[in-house]
Amino acid sequence: DAGVTQSPTHLIKTRGQHVTLRCSPISGHKSVSWYQQVLGQGPQFIFQYYEKEERGRGNFPDRFSARQFPNYSSELNVNALLLGDSALYLCASSGTGWFSNQPQHFGDGTRLSIL
Amino acid sequence: DAKTTQPPSMDCAEGRAANLPCNHSTISGNEYVYWYRQIHSQGPQYIIHGLKNNETNEMASLIITEDRKSSTLILPHATLRDTAVYYCIVRLSNSGYALNFGKGTSLLVTP
């Protein structure tokens, strides 16, 4: 079975531009989460969606937004890019139920570089 | 969610068992312990999780103390491919499922 897939794998943008990152969860998974990982640190939680509704949000500015589609895939959008947004953006999917201890499974991320 | 404390780095000889400790002294009764690892340039890989009983799978064993304030991840026969950053994470089973990764333990397996 395919794991979590993210596209693109690498992306270069300039300050002030907008970016859209995409994620396809593992088949049957209904929850998708997004994380940002800057160099040398652990991943930081950005958003979680379940059944197309936002269920959690980390400490990120409103420039970051996301949505989940009926097929459970998801997009992360970042507006007005800053140099500090350069990072590895990770998507994770989990579970068939909301109240579940099932683990999250991660894709290999999109590496975003801001010039 | 409870905070976790891990040593920043550890070494292990290839073929020996790697024992990675984690303290989670503020853990509450319904919080699970999860372990992930991240190999350079890849996404985090799920290893194992548990609530209060010891757990074993094809990758590792998880030993949780009786008071649940600490746990140990055991890689029984470490290989060079096990060199990675290992994260111990505690989260609520009915929370928003956000994972707080912290800084983890950088494990170096040497020949």
The pLDDT tens digits of the residues spanning A47-97 come to 899 889 998 888 899 999 999 999 999 999 999 999 999 999 999 999 766
What proportion of chain B, given as a percentage, has pLDDT over 70? Answer: 94
Given CB atoms, is B53 within the 8 Å cutoff of chain A? no
pLDDT digits (tens, 9 = 90+) for A87-102: 999 999 997 666 667 8
CA–CA separation, B82 vs B104, rounded Å? Answer: 14
Residue B24: its pLDDT value, please?
Answer: 92
Could you tell me how far CA A41 lies from the centroid of its own chain? 17
pLDDT digits (tens, 9 = 90+) for B4-24: 999 999 999 999 999 999 999
DSSP assignment letter at A103: P
Residue A26: its pLDDT value, please?
Answer: 95
Q: Count of CB contacts below 8 A, A vs B? A: 61
Chain B (82-101) residues lying within 8 Å, Cβ to Cβ, of chain A: 85, 87, 93-101
Residue A99: its pLDDT value, please?
Answer: 62
Average pLDDT, chain A: 93
Q: Nearest CA of chain A to the CA of B13: how many Å?
A: 25
A96: tokens are 């068939």
CA–CA separation, A55 vs A47, rounded Å? Answer: 8
Poorest-pLDDT segment among A14-18, B24-28, B57-61, B82-86: B24-28
Taking residues B56-74, report their average pLDDT: 96
Candidates B40, B87, B97: best to mutate against A (most CBs of A within 10 A) is: B97
CA–CA separation, A92 vs A35, rounded Å? Answer: 8
Residue B2: its pLDDT value, please?
Answer: 62
Contacts of B102 (CB under 8 A, 6+ apart): A42, B3, B4, B6, B87, B88, B89
Residue with tokens 């984690």: B22
With cut-offs at 50, 70 and 90, classify the pLDDT of residue A1.
low
Nearest to B75 by CA among B21, B33, B16: B16
